[in-house]
């Protein structure tokens, strides 16, 4: 492409982005009832994030089908959902059948295609690995309804890359719906869109996010969207302070809680998100992310590699920077 043609393409893309934001800025779209378009949701991955998304969607009245590789993973996801709902029921004084009434909206299967055959919205929350996500979505594309919306909960990858193996029509109906951990508690959902995304689709998804009790923000398809683009370098700086011997883990956490007013310190946060998730983000960015590849900040340190290979993944494995019961 000549330099003037690429400048024109960049200008067009920018104008399109401004049109999307102008269309959506400040509008709450009260006329959109997401339940008329989205009634059945298929969620792939019963881990920390997948089970949380299943819970909030079912709590908000949606029929949800949960898929995972094994029945044992599904059982552990459903167990986490039941435990979280029971806690909420106790705290908010719900009637005795409240938990069960929500669980009846959740079905599950290990049959990948059956899970999404009648879905209006598919959300993938499987392991942060590009080829696994691409293969999963392109497999689902063979049976999903043409109107079905595809969403990825990726923390670090580009939506364009996750959607790379989809046909054009489906790619235009693919976005990121990026939830935060723990999903039942955290209010934010980042909606990341590509240049060709229809503003009407974004308006619908904004309405859906509000309907499940969350707050949407929009972001162009860029590595880490908003939160992780800011948070990952902050976590890296915290780790380097400790690896250089400048301060202890406990003192860094205390400093950021009491000095910066953060609800938890960076090491507590990394333990909660999972060290493997942070590691995959850094590797993906160091390897190929536009504008970030080969940036030495994102090269996982030997200390981090050692923790991952020892299985110190944070809360989920019982040990990370801290030890958990
Ligand atoms: N943990 C967080 O704080 C957080 C926050 C936002 C987004 N995310 C993103 O959400 C996604 C899931 O993360 P998580 O923390 O729930 O991870 P997790 O390890 O708890 O769950 C991952 C799930 O992927 C499934 N899986 C593993 N290998 C698979 C394969 N080959 N094919 C299909 N499924 C497979 C596992 O069975 C598991 O259910 C990732 O993309 C992650 O980056 C994580």
> Based on the structure, what is the number of domains in the chain?
2
Is 324 within the bounds of a domain? no
Q: Residue 48's domain is classified under what CATH number? A: 3.40.50.720
Q: Can you state the angle between helices 227-243 and 275-288, rounded to 10 degrees?
A: 100
Domain stop point among 194, 220, 246: 220
Q: Are 157 and 225 in contact (CB under 8 A)?
A: no
Q: Please tell me whether residues 293 and 212 are part of one structural domain.
A: no
Q: Please tell me whether residues 207 and 258 are part of one structural domain.
A: no
Catalytic status, residue 155? yes
Of residues 40, 190, 235, 280, which has the active-site annotation? 190
For atom 35 of ligand 1, the residue with the nearest CA is 126
In the reported structure, the alpha carbon of residue 45 is separated from the centroid of ligand 1 by a whole-number distance in angstroms of: 6
Q: Please tell me whether residues 131 and 276 are part of one structural domain.
A: no
Q: Please tell me whether residues 19 and 154 are part of one structural domain.
A: yes
Q: Please tell me whether residues 208 and 188 are part of one structural domain.
A: yes
Of residues 155, 156, 235, 280, which has the active-site annotation? 155
In the reported structure, the alpha carbon of residue 325 is separated from the centroid of ligand 1 by a whole-number distance in angstroms of: 22
Closest CA to 53 of 100, 122, 133, 119: 122
pTM, full prediction? 0.89
Is 325 within the bounds of a domain? no
Helix (H, G, I), strand (E, B) or coil at 247: coil
Range of the domain at 253: 228-317
Q: Please tell me whether residues 60 and 143 are part of one structural domain.
A: yes
Whether the CB of 188 sits within 6 Å of ligand 1: no
Is 15 within the bounds of a domain? yes
In the reported structure, the alpha carbon of residue 154 is separated from the centroid of ligand 1 by a whole-number distance in angstroms of: 9
Q: Residue 266's domain is classified under what CATH number? A: 1.10.1040.10
Q: Please tell me whether residues 98 and 188 are part of one structural domain.
A: yes
For atom 6 of ligand 1, the residue with the nearest CA is 180
| CA–CA dist 141, 171 (Å, integer) | 10
For atom 8 of ligand 1, the residue with the nearest CA is 155
Is 191 within the bounds of a domain? yes
Predicted confidence pLDDT, tens digits, the chain (325 residues): 566 777 777 677 666 666 666 666 655 667 889 999 999 999 999 999 999 999 999 999 999 999 999 999 999 999 999 999 999 999 999 999 999 999 999 999 999 999 999 999 999 999 989 999 999 999 999 999 999 999 999 998 999 999 999 999 999 999 999 999 999 999 999 999 998 899 999 999 999 999 999 999 999 999 999 999 999 999 999 999 999 999 999 999 999 999 999 999 999 999 999 999 899 899 989 998 888 999 999 999 999 999 999 999 999 999 999 999 8
Q: Are 78 and 51 in contact (CB under 8 A)?
A: yes
For atom 32 of ligand 1, the residue with the nearest CA is 132
| CA–CA dist 73, 153 (Å, integer) | 18
Is 323 within the bounds of a domain? no
């Amino acid at each position: 492409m000549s330099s003037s043609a690429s400048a024109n393409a960049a200008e067009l893309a920018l104008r399109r982005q401004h049109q999307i934001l102008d269309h959506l800025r400040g509008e709450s779209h009260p006329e959109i009832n997401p339940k008329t378009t989205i009634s059945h949701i298929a969620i792939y991955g019963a881990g920390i994030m997948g089970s949380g998304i299943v819970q909030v969607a079912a709590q908000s009245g949606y029929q949800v089908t949960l898929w995972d590789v094994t029945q044992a993973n599904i059982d552990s996801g459903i167990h986490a959902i039941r435990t979280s709902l029971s806690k909420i029921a106790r705290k908010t004084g719900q009637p005795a059948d409240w938990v069960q009434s929500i669980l009846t909206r959740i079905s599950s299967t290990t049959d990948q295609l059956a899970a999404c055959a009648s879905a209006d919205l598919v959300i993938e929350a499987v392991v942060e690995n590009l080829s696994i996500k691409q293969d999963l979505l392109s497999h689902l594309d063979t049976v999903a309804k043409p109107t079905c919306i595809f969403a990825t909960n990726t923390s670090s990858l580009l939506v364009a890359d996750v959607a790379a193996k989809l046909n054009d029509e489906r790619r235009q109906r693919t976005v990121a719906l990026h939830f935060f951990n723990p999903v039942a508690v955290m209010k934010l959902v980042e909606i990341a869109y590509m240049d060709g995304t229809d503003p009407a689709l974004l308006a619908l998804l904004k309405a859906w996010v509000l309907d499940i009790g969350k707050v949407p923000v929009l972001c162009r398809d860029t590595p880490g969207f908003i939160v992780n683009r800011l948070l990952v370098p902050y976590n890296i700086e915290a780790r380097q302070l400790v690896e250089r011997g400048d301060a202890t883990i406990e003192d860094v956490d205390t400093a950021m809680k009491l000095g910066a007013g953060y609800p938890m310190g960076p090491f507590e946060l990394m333990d909660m998100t999972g060290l493997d998730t942070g590691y995959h983000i850094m590797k993906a960015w160091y390897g190929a992310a536009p504008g970030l590849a080969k940036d030495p900040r994102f090269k996982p340190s030997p200390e981090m590699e050692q923790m991952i290979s020892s299985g110190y993944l944070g809360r989920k494995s019982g040990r990370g920077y801290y030890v958990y019961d």
